[in-house]
Chain A
Amino acid sequence: MSKHMVTDDDLHAYVDARLPPARRAEIEAHLAADSEAATRVRAYQAHRQGLHDLFDPVLDEPIPASLRELAAEIDTRLEARGTRFVARRLLRSRIAAGVLIASFGGALGWLAHGIHRPAETLAAGTSLHRQAAVAHAVFSPDVRRPVEIGADHEDQLVTWLSKRLGVPVRPPKLAALGYGLIGGRLLPGNSGPVAQFMYQDAAGRRLTLLVSTEVATGGDTAFRFAQEGPVNVFYWIDGKFGYALSAGIPRDELARVAADVYGHLENR
């Protein structure tokens, strides 16, 4: 008799190759000493092999067209259901987080939009942070033309953007943080223009501040953070302005800049 405690379940798990190697070795030692158990195990193994010999040929048979068509139809419905399910869950989690939702981007986002769209909680179009991140990703790497009007014509920039947005906008001064203004540009928002200011530090790292007047009414918000690929975004709503600060710098570093920007805008 083996000194190992071997149960019936062990023998089956052994036959079905469900044991870790160490336990497997113990069972083998047990079987070497227990011919009755060894006989059973051999029989069970023979059943397994026999069942495969009997029925595996079915796997290679052509599948009747009626079954294939029905399966394809169910797959289509399951897929639609799966996509809706994921979209709904995403939507719920975003709403729970208290974020004004617009779009998640991509087909999934559009699907979520089209299917389940609680109108009250959604601002139309693309969300502020996503807008800001995309604009940052598009323009900040541009070496030759990152802005439409450079900081050397800051007065023109301010006048132009203020006129186009219909409210006075002015780039905060971030020199104390090591960021100098490069300039700014006008961008299409969801229903009209938004402004983007671009800054750069001594190392050439750029950050952009998106200023939008297309914010949902309903009051100020705290800082919120979003990550869109390599771009980190802090954004907030202050009065009738939405601000989004984007950069490819670490979150905590960006948070300090954002706090400063907020302070500048408050005290202006």
Chain B
Amino acid sequence: MDSRAIIDQLPRLRRYARALVGDRAAADDLVQDTLERAWSRIGQWRPGGDLRAWLFGIMHNLHIDQVRRPSLDGPSSGAEEIEVPIRATQPERMELEDLAAALARLPQEQSAVLLLVALDEMRYEDIAQTLNIPIGTVMSRLARGRERLRRMLDEHPNPSNLRVVR
């Protein structure tokens, strides 16, 4: 097995974490937690298995735990603040801010599927394995998530919980 297998997954893990959580420090904390859990559960790993699915599955479960955990400082959504990259042009940035805000308001189960599909470009069957749900559930969550996102963006989202990174 490739001796850099997990290191090579780090950029994608960080990207997924950022999309789930929004804030950079919180996202890297999630990656750290994911790696620590992978370390402690290394006995569950079956060589030849899908390492990416294993890691993303761990991260997903940790995130769900975090989201469900009662928090003292605000709503239970994991994505209160999304940092929008500044490199886009102004109108594009507005759209991206809207998208980030809408994403943050999606139910977690829908945003997880949508991100794995659209951002990580995983195959539907791999997502079913990663999230440990039937493929029909993957498709229905994807459909609901996409429609919900579309409706939110058709209306006018409230971008007050956005912070533009400069």
Interface residues of chain A, those whose CB is within 8 Å of chain B, are: 8-9, 12-13, 16, 18, 40, 43-44, 47-48, 50-59, 61, 63-64, 66-68, 70-79, 81-83, 85-86
Contact = CB atoms under 8 A, between A and B. Distances in A.
A70 B7 CA distance: 9
B10 A55 contact: no
Nearest to A83: B1
A78 to B, nearest CB: 6
A54 B19 contact: yes
Given A53-B96, A74-B38, A74-B39, A58 B11 contact: yes
Contact of A55 (B1, B4, B7, B18): B18
A90 B96 CA distance: 53
Interface in B139-166: 139, 142-143, 146-147, 149-150, 153
Contacts of B100: 54
Nearest to B150: A43
Given A12-B139, A53-B92, A70-B32, 16 more contacts: A16-B124, A18-B124, A44-B146, A47-B150, A51-B114, A51-B118, A59-B12, A67-B10, A71-B10, A72-B7, A73-B39, A74-B39, A75-B2, A75-B7, A77-B39, A78-B1
Q: Which one of B9, B36, B119 has the greatest number of beta carbons of chain A within 10 Å?
A: B119
B84 interface: yes
Contacts of A51: 19, 99, 103, 114-115, 118-119
B146 A75 contact: no
B145 to A, nearest CB: 9
6 tightest A-B CB contacts, nearest first: A82-B47, A82-B1, A58-B15, A50-B99, A71-B6, A48-B118
B14 interface: yes
Interface of B: 1-7, 9-12, 14-15, 18-19, 28, 31-32, 35-36, 38-39, 42, 45-47, 51, 82, 84-85, 87-88, 92, 95-96, 99-100, 103, 114-115, 117-119, 121, 123-124, 139, 142-143, 146-147, 149-150, 153
A74 B42 contact: yes
A42 to B, nearest CB: 10
19 contacts: A8-B143, A47-B150, A50-B99, A51-B115, A51-B118, A52-B119, A53-B85, A53-B88, A55-B15, A58-B11, A59-B12, A61-B14, A63-B14, A66-B32, A68-B10, A74-B6, A74-B35, A78-B6, A83-B1
A7 B1 CA distance: 40
B80 to A, nearest CB: 16
Given A44-B146, A54-B100, A71 B11 contact: no
A193 to B, nearest CB: 41
Nearest to A8: B143
Nearest to A40: B150
Chain A interface SS verdict (over half): helix
Contacts of A12: 117, 139, 142-143, 146
B64 to A, nearest CB: 20
Contact of B7 (A18, A44, A48, A71): A71
B47 A54 contact: no
Contacts of A68: 7, 10
Nearest to B103: A51
B19 to A, nearest CB: 5
A74 B3 CA distance: 9
B88 to A, nearest CB: 6
Contacts of A66: 32
A77 B96 CA distance: 40
B6 A55 contact: no
B76 to A, nearest CB: 22
Contacts of B7: 68, 71-72, 75
Contacts of A8: 139, 143
Nearest to A64: B28
Contacts of A78: 1, 5-6, 42, 45, 47, 51
